Amino acid sequence: MTVLNWNPAWDTGIEAIDGQHRNLLAQFESLIAAIHQNHLHDQIPGLLTFLSDYVEFHFTTEEGYMQAAQFPGLAGHKARHDELRPGWSS
Ligand SMILES: [Fe+2]
């Protein structure tokens, strides 16, 4: 059963960003499946570690694209990212 479905409206048209978003969704889907299948020790720690690292990689990549494009919403978007970064708080 798929819980998280990609919405084509989320596509940015930037291949790197869209690929990362799809990969994030797939990894969260794997995490949900592992929780439902009670793989507490053999899969969940690795998935959480991957997601923590990959989310930061993605946020950095996305902010770089926004900065390069002089995206006017960069500060607001980065603030949302910062709220989600481990160890960061607003
Ligand atoms: Fe993103």
Q: Which tens digit of pLDDT belongs to each residue from 16-72?
A: 999 999 999 999 999 999 999 998 899 999 999 999 999 999 999 999 999 999 999
Q: For residues 44 and 27, is the Cβ–Cβ distance under 8 A?
A: no
Distance 17 CA to ligand 1 centre (A): 7
Mean pLDDT score, 71-89: 88
Local confidence band at 90 (pLDDT 50, 70, 90 cut-offs): very low
Give the CA-trace dihedral at 60, 62, 68, 72, to 10 degrees: -110
Ligand 1 mean position, distance from CA 75 (Å): 14
CA distance 19 to 11: 9
The residue among 88, 14, 8 whose CA lies nearest residue 58 is 14
User: Are the beta carbons of 18 and 6 closer than 8 angstroms?
Assistant: no
pLDDT band at 2 (very low <50, low <70, confident <90, very high): confident
